[in-house]
Amino acid sequence: MATLYTKVKKYLEANSKNYDTEKDNIVLQNDTGTDYIKSWNVSGVAKPTDEQLATYNSTATTEENNVVIKRTRKVAYGDIGEQLDEIYKDIDAWKARIKSIKDANPKE
């Protein structure tokens, strides 16, 4: 299940808003063991209900999973300077290594 943060982000995007520009107008909290929206002051967009946020769970989960995959790939790819050296020396070996990393860490 996706985090409340990501579901709120998707809700805002669906309503032509950006979380980064609205983050000061939203307070997410967890003092009861459950994440919830403590305050919401986004101009032109009503505070979402739990049911509305639930509709974004699938796309939010996919986004979160792809962030993990991107980080995993970045570590596996290694330093860009080393990659450029590898390309210069043997582009076919580099392509095979990158393909194996992508195959082992597919995006959703």
pLDDT for residue 24: 93
pLDDT for residue 32: 86
Closest CA to 27 of 14, 17, 36: 36
The arithmetic mean of pLDDT across residues 93-99, rounded, is 95
pTM here? 0.77
pLDDT for residue 82: 94
Mean pLDDT, the chain, rounded, equals: 95
Closest CA to 21 of 43, 46, 2, 47: 43
The arithmetic mean of pLDDT across residues 10-25, rounded, is 94
Beta strand segments in the chain, E: 26-29, 36-40
Residue 108 has pLDDT above 90, yes or no: no
